[in-house]
Structure 1
Amino acid sequence: MTHGYRPEIIQSAFVDFIGARLNPFWSLTVPKLRLMSRVALSEDLIALQFETNHAFKKQVFDLQQGWAGGQHINISVPIDGIHHQRRYSLVGLAKEQLLYEQTDNDNNAEKSPTVTIAIKPQGLVSDYLTKHAALGAIFNSGMPSGDFTLAQAAKQANLSTLNPTLNKQSSLLFIAGGSGITPMLGLIMQALQSGQNVTLLHYNRMPLLTTYWANLAKKYATFTYHLIHTEDPSTYLANSRYLSAQVLLSLELPLADTQIFACGSQTFLAELYRVVDEIELASDPLSINKTADTPSLRDNIMIERFGTALPDFISSNEIAEVEPKSISLRTRQRQFTTSTTLLLGAEQAGLKLPYGCRQGICQMCRCHKISGVVKNIQTGKMSTDGLESIQTCIHVAMTDVILDI
């Protein structure tokens, strides 16, 4: 008898259908998370811990051996009958202890691997998860993904003439603003475990995770951290409240050979790009007189895509300077005028358009542009004047535009 394709006698989908009616958390194929606990890490940052179901454990922990530091996960959150998709950074590594102690109620903590995210209670979905979702609530999830990782940084470094290699001798600099610290936790732990030299620079309105960082510095001699409390001058570097060229130079790192990981708001990341443009990586490392023929420190920067801020992205101030343009929704026979993104402009006009992450990641806001020129606020790329598929959350109108909505 030949051994080849063997059809399933009972389809997995049918088993899931029956099983979900007995226990909604059970599934052979669909990764699911069950909310176990909430812990306030600061006034505006809440850690959420989830238990994982069989499908998640099989697909993520067994087959993929967890996830890489810096990756994120997509969670489907039903609110008032509507499923909203959001991506959140995973805190820590798959088999590392969490940032807080387990409570007595966490009876399954040893038996079931957990997933932790840390989010700010703002926006519809994040506010719901941090304040209103009941403990025990179940959510469908995606697989951990994302290229904000050490492996991707090594790949990027090998393609760079400025920093041709990323090894244990390389310096790693992590720069975070506010809640941008969350993907750094797993990245830093992974880097330290591999023996690399790590420096953390975190700007926040108040010190965050001070005990955690202090313990990490005691354990790893290769770890240095600076927590910049923006309201406390005693924490400033180079007498500067904000990120500057002088601050980066004061770290005394070999910047030309330093891989930089950055995460924060678009404004924060845009400022980082402006700062590194002031630093010359020529023969004198302390010079901040940039010339056109010197290598660029931009080549060493990797950013978390939640706060996508490429070197040519448009800041919110620049968006505000765009003259209002007329936007026509052909199918709905509606029209409005806006100088901001198409999605935000529609909402300000009282019109509801499809959306998901609002950051150009999930593609849920994608639609067809019939005519007109739009500009991508992340890349600065201009569209053509004809039929084209665009995302309303990251495009501004440069001429009058007609959308097939």
Structure 2
Amino acid sequence: MSFIFNPLTNWFSKQFFHHRSMAGYFEPVIQIFKPSWRDGYYRANVQSVTYIANKTVSIELKVESRWPTHKAGQHIELTIEINGRLVTRVFTIASSPNQAMHEGVIRLVIKQHDVGAFTPFLSRLTVNSWVNISKPKGTFLLPQSNAVTFFAAGSGITPFIAMLHQALHDEIPPIHLVYYAKPNEHLLVAELASLRNRLANFTFTLLSRSTDGDVAAKLPEFIGSQWLVCGPQDFYKTIKNYADTHQQSIESEHFSLVDLHTQGDEKAHFQVDHGGIKFTADNQQPLLAQFQANKINVPYGCGMGICHQCQCVKKKGVVRDIRNGKLSDYGEELIQLCVSQVVSDVEFKA
């Protein structure tokens, strides 16, 4: 494939077919022979879809041999087709690099929501169906330290599960996990118990705010260890504020809502990342005009949303369609630059 689709053919594709690569232009043909093959992605085959708790699903994926093995704590972008369009979300890998290297399998543990554009559709995945994944990303990794404290809330347990499974094969410092969830809603408890039995340096405590109080009251006893935090924004902020006050070392992977600015009459600025080229854009002008002002060469035609020549792939972030005010999804989506304005930080494929 790399021999056929070289830089010269990719340049030709951008100039005449408005695709970033010739492979992307021939994508529908390639998919006849390789289902779900997409330019710039990795394929993964669904091995199992199992409900492990109320509204929580465990998905095992067989990855391509060319997929670069992750490090424990990293995440991937998972892309599935929903009602004819590709939708992407980010999830932490909840299995060890050792399993990926020897079995070619990774696991995702995902909390489903009753409404939404992604997780309600995970139940439609079937064994031997195909999805797309990105390469592993992120720097939330187990540090080299004398002692480590994990603080997890809800589905924030997933990176720590991966780290603990990898610890079966590596030397680790003493680790204590403080795990908050609603009563009877802690995930993977039997797995944690098994890991505690196999790892001499690992202990954990299961807590609930309703019965054990806020995490802030638990923090003083862990001063001096290296803190790793994964959970919702409020949970993270509580721990971060305490750590800053007490000069405590902390690393985090926290969930937060996208900071949207949807009032079109009030000017705001956001960062745009186009394949590593970054600039600041406002929410008043169409993106195409701001790309051109920053001398970033992108295909375009009519400039009115009719010819679709300025289509590009938004990887993450939210834009507004100036024709109808509709907001895009946060994940990966094909948009038109000439009729889109930013309402959050955005990232595009080059």
8 Å CA contact 2:92–2:159 kept in 1: the answer is: yes
Partner of 1:194: 171
For 1:113, give the aligned amino acid.
G
In the TM superposition, residue 45 of structure 1 has moved relative to its aligned partner by 2.0
1:120 aligns with 2:87: no
8 Å CA contact 1:363–1:391 kept in 2: the answer is: no
8 Å CA contact 1:353–1:365 kept in 2: the answer is: no
Partner of 1:81: 84
Partner of 1:227: 206
1:260 aligns with 2:268: no
8 Å CA contact 2:56–2:111 kept in 1: the answer is: yes
In the TM superposition, residue 146 of structure 1 has moved relative to its aligned partner by 0.9
Partner of 1:399: none
Partner of 1:248: 219
User: Distance between the aligned counterparts of 2:334 and 2:149, measured in 1?
Assistant: 34
2:53 aligned to 42, 51, 56, which one?
42
Q: Map Cα deviations across residues 284-322 of structure 1 (whole Å, 9 max, x no partner).
A: xxxxxxxxxxxx11xx11111x5269xxxxx99xx99xx
1:94 aligns with 2:97: yes
In the TM superposition, residue 84 of structure 1 has moved relative to its aligned partner by 1.6
1:274 aligned to 205, 223, 241, which one?
241
1:59 aligns with 2:50: no
Partner of 1:144: 136
User: Distance between the aligned counterparts of 1:268 and 1:30, measured in 2?
Assistant: 33
For 2:151, give the aligned amino acid.
I
Q: Structure 1 stretches of 5 or more lacking a match?
A: 1-6, 61-65, 98-109, 154-165, 280-295, 310-314, 334-341, 371-389, 396-405
For 1:57, give the aligned amino acid.
S
The count of corresponding residues between Structure 1 and Structure 2 is 279
In the TM superposition, residue 16 of structure 1 has moved relative to its aligned partner by 8.2
- Cα gap change, 1:8/1:132 in structure 2, threshold over 3 Å: closer, same or farther? closer
- Cα gap change, 1:26/1:81 in structure 2, threshold over 3 Å: closer, same or farther? closer
8 Å CA contact 2:228–2:250 kept in 1: the answer is: yes
In the TM superposition, residue 202 of structure 1 has moved relative to its aligned partner by 0.7
For 2:154, give the aligned amino acid.
G
1:203 aligned to 174, 180, 186, which one?
180
Partner of 1:218: 197
Q: Map Cα deviations across residues 298-357 of structure 1 (whole Å, 9 max, x no partner).
A: xx11111x5269xxxxx99xx99xx99647765599xxxxxxxx959x69xx83233434
User: Distance between the aligned counterparts of 1:119 and 1:351, measured in 2?
Assistant: 31
Partner of 1:181: 157
User: Distance between the aligned counterparts of 1:273 and 1:354, measured in 2?
Assistant: 31
8 Å CA contact 2:264–2:284 kept in 1: the answer is: no
In the TM superposition, residue 172 of structure 1 has moved relative to its aligned partner by 0.8
User: Distance between the aligned counterparts of 1:50 and 1:180, measured in 2?
Assistant: 20
User: Distance between the aligned counterparts of 1:301 and 1:366, measured in 2?
Assistant: 40
Q: Map Cα deviations across residues 168-195 of structure 1 (whole Å, 9 max, x no partner).
A: xx11111011111111111233356323
- With the length of structure 2 as denominator, give the TM-score of the two structures: 0.65
Alignment RMSD = 4.4
Q: Map Cα deviations across residues 70-89 of structure 1 (whole Å, 9 max, x no partner).
A: 00111222212221222111
In the TM superposition, residue 25 of structure 1 has moved relative to its aligned partner by 5.9
In the TM superposition, residue 259 of structure 1 has moved relative to its aligned partner by 1.5
In the TM superposition, residue 276 of structure 1 has moved relative to its aligned partner by 2.9
- Within 5 Å, give how 1:320-359 maps onto structure 2: 326=266, 351-357=325-331
In the TM superposition, residue 364 of structure 1 has moved relative to its aligned partner by 8.6
- Within 5 Å, give how 1:97-108 maps onto structure 2: none
User: Distance between the aligned counterparts of 2:333 and 2:343, measured in 1?
Assistant: 9
In the TM superposition, residue 230 of structure 1 has moved relative to its aligned partner by 3.5
Partner of 2:289: none
- With the length of structure 1 as denominator, give the TM-score of the two structures: 0.57
Q: Map Cα deviations across residues 43-76 of structure 1 (whole Å, 9 max, x no partner).
A: 1321111122xxx21232xxxxx21110011122
- After the TM superposition, which of the residue ranges 116-125 and 195-204 deviates more from structure 2? 116-125
For 2:60, give the aligned amino acid.
Q
User: Distance between the aligned counterparts of 1:20 and 1:301, measured in 2?
Assistant: 45
User: Distance between the aligned counterparts of 1:391 and 1:220, measured in 2?
Assistant: 48
User: Distance between the aligned counterparts of 1:117 and 1:207, measured in 2?
Assistant: 16
In the TM superposition, residue 229 of structure 1 has moved relative to its aligned partner by 3.1
Instruction: Give percent identity, aligned residues only.
Output: 19
- Cα gap change, 1:183/1:125 in structure 2, threshold over 3 Å: closer, same or farther? same
- Cα gap change, 1:351/1:135 in structure 2, threshold over 3 Å: closer, same or farther? farther
User: Distance between the aligned counterparts of 2:327 and 2:139, measured in 1?
Assistant: 29
Q: Structure 2 stretches of 5 or more lacking a match?
A: 7-21, 268-282, 287-302, 305-316
User: Distance between the aligned counterparts of 1:226 and 1:207, measured in 2?
Assistant: 11
In the TM superposition, residue 214 of structure 1 has moved relative to its aligned partner by 1.4
More strand by share: 2
